[in-house]
Amino acid sequence: MGDSSEAGGLTARDVRLARGGRAVLDGARLTVPRGAVTALVAPSGAGKSTLLRCLNRLLDPDAGTIELAGRNVRGIDPRELRRRVGLVAQTPTMLPGTVRDNVAYALPAATDGDVARALRAAGLPDAFAGRDAAGLSGGERARVALARALSRAPEVLLLDEPTAALDADTAALVGRTLRALADDGVGVCMAVHDVPFAREHADRVVGLDDREPPR
């Protein structure tokens, strides 16, 4: 894999972070090239969510370098960074209001057509736009969070266990959506437990050292 910074992707090197007095990340590395789907596979508790949160500066590591398109993310305004690097959280929170309110949050120019397109790409029918977000199931919330991220057209999209709450068919649809995003030049990275899903839908399957794990 070539230098992702040249291709405009995200690169994390030697990231260290202690939490609660313990090293959670101890020299983590990750490359998220644009135009490809990367799957981050590591055991529960290994630090995948923590690393993804460092990549868009919801957390700042104690040491290490994170670059977006060759530029240190510490030099990028956090709002701009989070617009360019979307993160779909492992347990997404819904804002009060409808699904439409959630998908179009802080996007005043979003049309009903934009919202419907994002919902469909996330595996939800258009009619979901009018639903009260508070009443959604876990899998529906996961897809609304994906639609919210898609509607922002990020350069890099990070997804933390995007299919954990989904049935196999819906998960496969999400996999195809991620493929289409990568084909459009987005750098996609999903943290996943489901190794067969990762192998089917990702171009690269790596651990927290950015290397292919042993089969």
Contact partner, 42, from Mg ion, ligand ATP, none, Cβ < 5-8 Å per class:
ligand ATP
Side chain identity at 63, as an amino acid letter? Answer: A
Contact partner, 163, from ligand ATP, Mg ion, none, Cβ < 5-8 Å per class:
none
**Cα-based distances in Å from 19 to 26, 57, 140, 176:** 11, 15, 31, 35
Shortest distance, position 41 Cβ to ligand ATP, whole Å: 10
Report the interface residues with ligand ATP, using CB under 6 A: 19-20, 24, 42, 44-50, 90
> Toward ligand ATP, which CB reaches closer, 24 or 37?
24
Shortest distance, position 164 Cβ to ligand ATP, whole Å: 9
Shortest distance, position 12 Cβ to ligand ATP, whole Å: 14
> Is residue 50 close enough to count as binding Mg ion by CB under 5 A?
no
Task: Give, to the nearest 10 degrees, the angle between helix 112-121 and helix 138-150.
Answer: 120
Shortest distance, position 139 Cβ to ligand ATP, whole Å: 17
Shortest distance, position 174 Cβ to ligand ATP, whole Å: 18
> Toward ligand ATP, which CB reaches closer, 46 or 107?
46
> Toward Mg ion, which CB reaches closer, 115 or 208?
208
Write out the two tokens for 158: 């990070």
Sign of CA dihedral 52, 171, 110, 33: positive
HSE at residue 156, side-chain half, CA atoms within 13 A, is 27
| Cα–Cα dist 135/142, whole Å | 13
DSSP string, 159-194: EESTTTTS-HHHHHHHHHHHHHHHHTT-EEEEE-S-
| Nearest of 1, 7, 48 to residue 155 by alpha carbon | 7
> Toward Mg ion, which CB reaches closer, 124 or 174?
174
- Contact between 19 and 166 (Cβ < 8 Å): no
> Toward ligand ATP, which CB reaches closer, 24 or 190?
24
Contact partner, 96, from ligand ATP, Mg ion, none, Cβ < 5-8 Å per class:
none
> Toward Mg ion, which CB reaches closer, 11 or 49?
49
Write out the two tokens for 135: 């009443």
> Is residue 49 close enough to count as binding Mg ion by CB under 5 A?
yes
Contact partner, 93, from Mg ion, ligand ATP, none, Cβ < 5-8 Å per class:
none
- Contact between 124 and 145 (Cβ < 8 Å): no
The CB-nearest residue to ligand ATP is 20
Binding interface with Mg ion (CB under 5 A): 48-49, 90
